[in-house]
Homo-oligomer: A and B are copies of this chain.
Amino acid sequence: MVELPDKQAAFMEWYLAVVEEAHLTDKRYPVKGANVWTPYGLKARLQLDAVLIREIEATGSEAAEFPALIPATEFSKEKEHIKGFDAQVYWVTKGGVADLDVPLVLRPTSETAIYPVFALWVRSHRDLPLNIYQIVNTFRYETKTTRPFLRVREIHFFEEHTCQADEAAATERVRSNRAAFAKMARAFALPYLAIRRPDWDKFPGAFYSIALDIPIGGARTLQIGSIHHYRENFSRPYGIRYETVDGEQRYAHQTTFGLSERLLGAIVAVHGDAKGVVFPSAIAPFQVVVIPIPASDAGDAPLAVSTDVADRLRRRGLRVRLDAGEERPGSKYYRWELAGVPLRLEVGAREAKQRSVTTADRLGRKGTVPLDRLETEVERLLAEYDDALRARAQAEFSAAFSVARSLEELPGSTTVRLIAWCGNEECGHRIETAIDGSLLGTPEDPLPFLTEPIGGCIACGEKSTARWAVAARPL
């Protein structure tokens, strides 16, 4: 057994130990920031992807897949975009023994791979809206310290790219993406803020960017996704035009929605505890582990009942692991708690005799369930577990913010700060300097836990244009 570092005192050490000890990743691959998806980590990722797929397809998006290699000529068509990614792209310059005529970029994101093709697909107003998503790996030559799931060089990535008839339709797509993300986040039990980034921090080439941020302790935040409105910024250079009902040629308005394996890191970071990972049931590789407890007077009964219990729950559609190995039960409990399994069922001599199972969820709540109500009771326990996980995360989320009324309060902040900001860039940079971090921007929705009246901009004192903004030290 391994003693994990203290989550509060040493968050990153705790995080790194947890993802390794729970076998979610293997970071010993000989390229920095390129980690191995272990069987257990990949199982969690596939469940996570399934939630993304379910929710995005419910909004009328279809999956496609575009190539990973982008010709330099296409990559450089949108000037802001290329400027934003220039320092962090991998270049493929040789094929076999020969230099390539046109060097290829390994996609860091797929605007420049997809839009030349969208220009062929979009002809008429009847082709709109075009809502396409792909789940692929992207590549960024990351120069900062890499961390499994949180900052890596090969990134498991979800990206939706859409073409809409006009700005209003694109704004509506942004709204639809936000609603879809709210459902995803509910499945992951992750409270978050949707924050409109200041102009100087928007996605390269975007009209505006809405980031999805979560607090992860102290003044630290983690951006777990983003939704962008591009207006015609890409459709013009890539020639994505359509004929209106009236026979006019117009450029499409575009949006994108990006998520990544960071979500898995966020789930570990937010829900995990001193014993290890705590998975919401929606993405747990195994939702239930069944452990027979051998006893000298019980014979085969614990194993027979456990096998039957596992089979019944699998038939119900649950992901179940029967752990009938030779290890001691206590050691199994330890291992499956570390792995974050939501619900443990124990079957010993007493349970076999009384036709029941003993239950223990990953939040430490215990009970007994009679076998004749097994399926419905297990489903109820999982639902209650998810609710409890959500409530705990929500309480921690609300406590993660505090209001600052002056720049002097920002240095050394131990929470994410809510501040009044006039919208001026110069003031923004003064706030960033004071907190030694970023002005994340202005929340898209009112914060339910923020009841105080707003004051003047904490940098310049201006009252008329002041709005609540979030200042933090993003990871």
Contacts and interface: CB of A to CB of B under 8 A. Distances in A.
Contacts of A71: 30-31
A411 to B, nearest CB: 32
Given A117-B26, A117-B36, A31 B96 contact: no
A38 B65 CA distance: 7
A446 to B, nearest CB: 38
Given A89-B96, A90-B92, A90-B94, A66 B29 contact: yes
B69 A31 contact: yes
Sort A-B residue pairs by CB-CB distance and give the 9 closest, nearest first. A95-B141, A34-B67, A37-B65, A91-B94, A39-B62, A87-B96, A93-B93, A96-B141, A90-B92
A365 interface: no
A263 interface: no
Interface in A80-133: 86-97, 104, 106, 113, 116-117, 120, 132
Count chain B CB atoms within 10 A of each CB in A64, A73, A88 and give the residue with the most.
A64
A132 B74 contact: no
B67 A35 contact: yes
A68 B137 contact: yes
Q: A interface, how many residues as a size bin?
A: 35 or more
A64 B36 contact: yes
A143 interface: yes
Contacts of A35: 67
A84 to B, nearest CB: 12
A295 B92 CA distance: 59
Interface string A369-385: 00000000000000000
Nearest to A39: B62
A154 interface: yes
Nearest to A113: B29
A42 interface: yes
Nearest to A73: B30
B96 A93 contact: no
A42 B61 CA distance: 13
A465 B77 CA distance: 64
Contact of A28 (B29, B62, B63, B117): B117
Interface string A22-33: 000010111100
A34 B69 contact: yes
Given A64-B36, A141-B96, A154 B69 contact: yes
Interface in A4-37: 26, 28-31, 34-37
5 contacts: A26-B120, A31-B104, A39-B63, A43-B63, A88-B96
Nearest to A29: B67
Contact of A86 (B67, B97, B141): B97
Given A38-B64, A92-B93, 9 more contacts: A26-B117, A28-B117, A29-B66, A34-B68, A35-B67, A37-B66, A39-B64, A69-B154, A86-B96
A27 to B, nearest CB: 10
Contact of A30 (B30, B74, B88): B74
A140 to B, nearest CB: 9
Contacts of A113: 29
Given A28-B117, A74-B30, A36 B96 contact: no
